[in-house]
A and B are shown apart, each in its own frame.
Chain A
Amino acid sequence: DTAVSQTPKYLVTQMGNDKSIKCEQNLGHDTMYWYKQDSKKFLKIMFSYNNKELIINETVPNRFSPKSPDKAHLNLHINSLELGDSAVYFCASSQDGGGHGYTFGSGTRLTVV
């Protein structure tokens, strides 16, 4: 069983489109995250949710809207996609504030053309 699963694995879309990435974890963790990895491999936190409540929003454009229907799911919806949104997006989960480690999903490679 995959602990943190993301879909889709690859996503190619045109500028201006709206797309969603889904994430689910079966670890029983209460906190979930979205990270963005750019072309230089730099990993930056975008959002964190604890028990469905937004804890961290790292000055991400409003075009990015996370949604957490329950503590096992954290989806990412992106409106009006831009070329600069091309990156690998990683979902992760942890128990509490992350002091005991994070488990990452396998990533979604988004390419905007």
Chain B
Amino acid sequence: AQSVSQHNHHVILSEAASLELGCNYSYGGTVNLFWYVQYPGQHLQLLLKYFSGDPLVKGIKGFEAEFIKSKFSFNLRKPSVQWSDTAEYFCAVNGGSNYKLTFGKGTLLTVNP
């Protein structure tokens, strides 16, 4: 079975601080990895995804993530956060295109102006 663990429940930063949100997954085969963002009261929006190739993936709004296979990790990073990045962030795994996307429990990011 596939699973996802997000280490931080709530992260509070000031504007211009750097961000790293941890994500570890568990699955025995080929994985597809995703980060989604959910702004308050809104639906899920895809930030970035990894299928294969370059383990450093760049997404929208200046976000990037690095897939480290040996650590089963897919951490999300942003060099300088803005107040508008305040949202819930979800890491998700799809194992071998198996019709199932499993989410982590989410990390609430609060950016103070």
Contacts and interface: CB of A to CB of B under 8 A. Distances in A.
Contact of A43 (B90, B99, B108): B90
Contact of B94 (A44, A56, A98, A104): A98
A105 B9 CA distance: 25
A9 B54 CA distance: 39
Contacts, number: 66
A68 interface: no
Contact of A48 (B38, B51, B100, B106): B100
B82 interface: no
Nearest to A99: B97
Contacts of A106: 42-43
Given A104-B44, A106-B42, A43 B103 contact: yes
Interface residues of B, number: 25
B98 interface: yes
Interface string B82-105: 000000101000101111111101
Contacts of A78: none
Contacts of B43: 90, 104-107
A43 B100 CA distance: 12
Contacts of A98: 32, 94, 97-101
Contacts of A31: 99
Nearest to A95: B97
A41 B106 contact: yes
Interface of A: 31, 33, 40-45, 48, 50, 55-56, 90, 92, 94, 96-107
Interface of B: 32, 34, 36, 38, 42-46, 49, 51, 88, 90, 94, 96-103, 105-106, 108
